[in-house]
Amino acid sequence: MELTGKQRAQLRAMANGIDTIVHIGKDGIGENLIKQTDDALEARELVKCRVLEASMLTAREACETLAKLTRSEPVQVIGTRFVLYRESHNKNKKDKIVLVSGRTR
C-alpha cells in the first residue's frame, strides 16, 4: 500500500504522541529485531524506531531495510528516529488506525 501525502501527514501527527519501542544497536537488523518490529506493527500499526549511536546504520538505511523486511511503509525519518506503518491484519483490533482518503478534490 503506497501512502499518499495526506496519509503520511496524518501518521506523522499521530507518531508525535508515541514512544520509541524499537532500538537498533551495534548488531544492526537481525532476525530478533525483525520479529520484534513485526509484532509491534501487528499490535500497534504505527511504530517509532531509533538507531543508537553504536549502530553502523543511518536512520534512513535502517528505515528502508526494516520497512522492506516487515512489509511496512516508511512514514518519516528525523535524525536518528523513524516511523513505520502497517495496517494490522487483525480484523477484531479495536484501535485500528483509519487513514484519511487519498483522494484530492
Please give the Cα distance from 36 to 5 (Å, whole number). Answer: 28
Domain extent at residue 29? 5-85
With respect to residue 90, please indicate whether it lies within any of the assigned structural domains. Answer: no
Q: Could you tell me the CA-to-CA distances from 5 to 67, 69, 101 in Å, in that order?
A: 18, 23, 10
With respect to residue 94, please indicate whether it lies within any of the assigned structural domains. Answer: no
With respect to residue 70, please indicate whether it lies within any of the assigned structural domains. Answer: yes
Domains in the chain: how many in total? 1
The model's pTM is 0.90
For strands 73-78 and 81-85, give the pairing: antiparallel
With respect to residue 101, please indicate whether it lies within any of the assigned structural domains. Answer: no
With respect to residue 9, please indicate whether it lies within any of the assigned structural domains. Answer: yes
Whichever domain contains 75, its CATH number is 3.30.110.60
Work out the average pLDDT over 12-41: 95
Which residues on adjacent β-strands are paired with residue 73? 85
Q: Give the pLDDT confidence of 64-92 residue by residue, as tens digits.
A: 999 999 999 999 999 999 999 999 877 77
With respect to residue 50, please indicate whether it lies within any of the assigned structural domains. Answer: yes
